[in-house]
């Protein structure tokens, strides 16, 4: 076993909340160790709808959640300008809808009161004819529509931006590192024992250990001999590799739940389900029934939806706070900071529940609890301190494109990930070569991600820089990507092949539930292009 | 704040909304919607293009069209169909990518195994990029 290191705080869990806590505590001057068993944001955060939103639907249950999440969304919009973009929803109303158009507009009128908190515009109401002018793909049965505005965000980059800033302020952050045990001294937790990707087990001492592992919180808390009770809920999204509607669309499912089709920059997410989940958190399957449940709802308002070719599905398990209630959808998205000292376990704090939109606030309140224990008086600075890449304004894409010799569209994508630091990423001879052409992404950016952003697998590169996120799902780029990353990390030829094989097999698990006729043709092509590798 | 409280406040807001609807004449908000979000590129596809949209985006980046024809301006044809059309809301900022000659798009389209109408795709991309 490797010798122990000493820290003020060890944060377990590299989702957006854990990364946010690590950043917050580092900005307050504490020494922090952040550990993630997989890759940054690979769990619940990555399986989200890619939005920071207040959620008009919470108005039925809990206005405080709406207020807090819109307020915090406003802070995130200010500190992460390069990562956010406006997402405008149309809520088309059908004659047999659960809520008639007057009720829907009432919801949006109330929601408008919160919108200034996140710098969003008030709603608009459209007649049936106007709604079809705005969104020609809508069903002729639609009798009117109401709009509302949210913010889209790349959650993977948001997590990494928090990790990067934490490291810049002195934190140590390790991905692919699993906590195997907590070190205890009587009733006190005094550190963690973790296994790195090379199998080496190391001890780290910490004055406080924070459990920010989302749906895995009950498992981690058991290591300390305490209980965190959740009601985990599975949600899936269907991913289309294109923007398939002008506006994002809000509709209802057969059982009256709100569903969303979100038009992000170059892709569309359609979701989500919300079902109690009792299975293995590390192996969440998607059923064709779940896919059909979503498509059935959307084809009523957007009839051509089945003409589009999905590229994969995503899954996530929400760490919803425990409550005995009939419907999962009615559960609050509130969160709770738990100091386990009240149960006789000192030095151990858990954060449970919540949602992406409130990650910064959750991190602030968890950090406050940690600082109280440590006697640290420093105030939270995360609401106003820009995340990396937001220190200055971005230059116009066409100018950077001309100077660096890459397409302007590639610069737009690059800036959306790295903000004002984009040119720094393009340093070197690889600047002009595109490796993932659908996205589009340069070899220089991929090499940078391997060298500086803890990319250790091709799946990590998917999360960090969008590798293989486009229509070809990697068929045209993963071989070359393995060469670029392999050159940075010193992979042998067989390790490069193994990396491609692992990525293609992993991607297949996400593609199988949504492959239609064209999808199978694409899969055949991809398999053919990589013939020999998968045997 | 419990659910009963939330529902009561919504009911109050609903009453106010209905009263307001009775007392005021509705006005069209469509133009205002387009003006608010024009800069975001949210209303980019026209109705006729929207109808054809599922056929326009079938590209799987196999690269066969590139063997039949080369580039549109500085842009490779497979990129046009697999990348530019999917990121259409940002094309106004990428118009420099299409400066230059156009290739034989019909020949390129005939090589496409997915039947992507490349001439149509190119026309839409150019239209959106030109603003």
Q: How many CB pairs under 8 A join A and B?
A: 177
Q: Would you tell me which residues 249-308 of chain A have a C-beta closer than 8 angstroms to some C-beta of chain B?
A: 263, 265-267, 304, 307-308
Of B30, B53, B95, the CB nearest to A244: B53
Question: To the nearest whole angstrom, how far is the Cα of B64 from the nearest Cα of chain A?
Answer: 12
The tokens of A304 are what?
Answer: 């051509």
Q: Name residue A321's beta-bridge partners.
A: A230
A366-369 CB contacts, 8 Å cutoff, 24+ apart:
A366/A17, A366/A21, A366/A24, A366/A210, A366/A212, A366/A337, A367/A21, A367/A24, A367/A25, A367/A28, A369/A337, A369/A339
* Strands A248-252 vs A233-240: parallel, antiparallel or unpaired: unpaired
Contacting residues of B for A105, CB less than 8 Å apart: 17
Evaluate whether A277 touches A284 at the Cβ level (below 8 Å): yes
Contacting residues of B for A86, CB less than 8 Å apart: 37, 40, 42
Tell me if A61 and B82 make a contact (CB, 8 A cut-off). Answer: no
Of A137, A267, A407, the CB nearest to B74: A407
How do the domains of chain B map onto residue ranges?
1-43, 45-131
Helices of type H across B24-117 = 30-37, 47-56, 64-68, 77-79, 105-110
Question: To the nearest whole angstrom, how far is the Cα of A136 from the nearest Cα of chain B?
Answer: 5
User: CB contact, 8 Å: A437 with chain B?
Assistant: yes
Question: To the nearest whole angstrom, how far is the Cα of B66 from the nearest Cα of chain A?
Answer: 13
Question: pTM of this prediction?
Answer: 0.95
Q: At what angle do helices A408-418 and A397-404 cross, to 10 degrees?
A: 110
Residue-by-residue pLDDT tens, chain A, 535 positions: 666 799 999 999 999 999 999 999 999 999 999 999 999 999 999 999 999 987 787 888 888 888 988 999 999 999 999 999 999 999 999 999 989 999 999 999 999 999 999 999 999 999 999 999 999 899 999 999 999 999 999 999 999 999 999 999 999 999 999 999 999 998 999 999 999 999 999 999 999 999 999 999 999 999 999 999 999 999 999 999 998 898 999 999 999 899 999 999 889 999 999 999 999 999 898 988 999 999 999 999 999 999 998 989 999 999 999 988 767 666 777 899 999 999 999 999 999 999 899 999 999 999 999 999 999 999 999 999 999 999 999 999 999 998 888 999 999 999 999 999 999 998 776 777 889 888 899 999 999 999 999 999 999 999 999 999 888 888 888 999 999 999 999 999 999 999 998 998 888 778 888 887 667 777 777 667 665 555 5
Contacting residues of B for A266, CB less than 8 Å apart: 83, 86-87
Tell me if B61 and A518 make a contact (CB, 8 A cut-off). Answer: no
Contacting residues of B for A60, CB less than 8 Å apart: 3, 6-7, 10
Contacting residues of A for B100, CB less than 8 Å apart: none
Best probe of the A interface among B60, B77, B113, B124, by most A CBs < 10 A, is B60
Best probe of the A interface among B87, B89, B112, B125, by most A CBs < 10 A, is B87
Contacting residues of A for B59, CB less than 8 Å apart: 471-472
ipTM score assigned to the predicted complex? 0.91
Tell me if B96 and A401 make a contact (CB, 8 A cut-off). Answer: yes
Evaluate whether A458 touches A450 at the Cβ level (below 8 Å): no
Contacting residues of A for B93, CB less than 8 Å apart: 396-398, 408, 412
Domains annotated on chain A, with CATH: 2-44+156-228+333-374 (3.50.50.60), 84-151+231-323 (3.30.9.10), 397-529 (no CATH)
């Amino acid at each position: 076993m490797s010798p122990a290191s000493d820290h003020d705080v060890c944060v377990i869990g590299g989702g957006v909340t854990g990364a946010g806590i690590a950043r917050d505590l580092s900005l307050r001057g504490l020494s922090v160790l952040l550990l993630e068993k997989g890759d940054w944001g690979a769990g619940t955060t990555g399986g989200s709808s890619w939005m920071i939103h207040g959620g008009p639907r919470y108005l039925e249950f809990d206005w405080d959640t709406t207020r807090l999440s819109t307020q915090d969304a406003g802070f995130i919009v200010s500190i992460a300008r390069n990562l956010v973009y406006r997402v405008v929803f149309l809520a088309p109303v059908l004659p047999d809808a659960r809520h008639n158009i007057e009720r829907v507009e009432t919801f949006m009128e109330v929601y408008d009161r919160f919108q200034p908190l996140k710098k969003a515009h008030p709603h608009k109401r459209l007649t049936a004819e106007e709604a079809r002018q705005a969104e020609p793909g809508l069903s002729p049965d639609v009798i009117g529509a109401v709009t509302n505005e949210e913010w889209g965000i790349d959650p993977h980059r948001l997590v990494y931006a928090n990790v990067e800033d934490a490291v810049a302020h002195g934190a140590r952050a390790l991905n692919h590192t699993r906590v195997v045990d907590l070190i205890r001294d009587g009733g006190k937790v005094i550190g963690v024992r973790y296994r790195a990707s090379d199998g080496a087990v190391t001890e780290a001492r910490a004055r406080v250990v924070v459990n920010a592992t989302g749906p895995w919180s009950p498992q981690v808390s058991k290591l300390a001999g305490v209980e965190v009770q959740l009601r985990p809920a599975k949600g899936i999204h269907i991913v289309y590799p294109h923007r398939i509607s002008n506006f994002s669309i809000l509709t209802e499912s057969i059982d009256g739940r709100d569903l969303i089709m979100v038009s992000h920059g170059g892709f569309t997410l359609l979701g989500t389900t919300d079902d109690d989940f009792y299975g293995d958190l590390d192996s969440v399957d998607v059923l064709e029934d779940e896919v059909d449940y979503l498509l059935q709802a959307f084809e009523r308002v957007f009839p051509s939806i089945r003409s589009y070719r999905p590229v994969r599905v995503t899954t996530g398990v929400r760490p919803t706070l425990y409550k005995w209630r009939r419907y999962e959808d009615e559960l609050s998205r509130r969160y709770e900071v738990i100091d386990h000292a009240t149960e006789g376990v000192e030095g151990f704090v858990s954060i449970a529940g919540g949602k992406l939109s409130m990650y910064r606030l959750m991190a602030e309140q968890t950090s406050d609890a940690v600082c109280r224990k440590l006697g640290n008086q420093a105030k939270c600075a995360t609401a106003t301190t820009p995340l990396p890449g937001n220190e200055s304004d971005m230059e116009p894409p066409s100018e950077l494109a001309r100077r660096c010799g890459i397409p302007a569209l590639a610069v737009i994508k690059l800036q959306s990930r790295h903000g004002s630091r984009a040119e720094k990423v393009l340093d070197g001879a690889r600047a002009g070569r595109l490796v993932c052409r659908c996205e589009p992404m340069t070899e220089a950016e991929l090499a940078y991600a391997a060298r500086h952003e803890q990319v250790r697998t091709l799946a990590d590169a998917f999360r960090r820089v969008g590798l293989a996120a486009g229509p070809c799902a990697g068929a045209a780029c993963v071989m070359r990507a393995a060469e670029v990353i392999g050159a940075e990390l010193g992979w042998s030829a067989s390790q490069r092949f193994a990396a491609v094989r692992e990525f293609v097999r992993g991607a297949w698990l996400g593609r199988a539930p949504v492959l239609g006729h064209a999808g199978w043709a694409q899969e055949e092509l991809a398999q053919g292009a990589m013939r020999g590798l998968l045997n | 704040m419990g659910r009963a409280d939330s529902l009561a406040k919504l009911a109050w807001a609903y009453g106010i909304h209905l009263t307001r609807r009775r007392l005021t004449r509705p006005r069209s908000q469509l133009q205002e919607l387009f003006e608010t979000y024009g800069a975001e590129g949210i209303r980019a596809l026209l109705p006729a293009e929207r109808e054809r949209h599922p056929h326009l985006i079938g590209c799987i980046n196999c690269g066969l069209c590139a063997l039949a024809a080369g580039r549109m301006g500085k842009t490779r044809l497979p990129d046009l169909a697999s990348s530019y059309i999917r990121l259409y809301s940002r094309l106004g900022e990428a118009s420099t990518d299409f400066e230059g000659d156009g290739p034989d798009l019909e020949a390129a389209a005939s090589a496409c195994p997915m039947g992507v109408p490349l001439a149509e795709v190119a026309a839409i991309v150019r239209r959106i990029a030109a603003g």
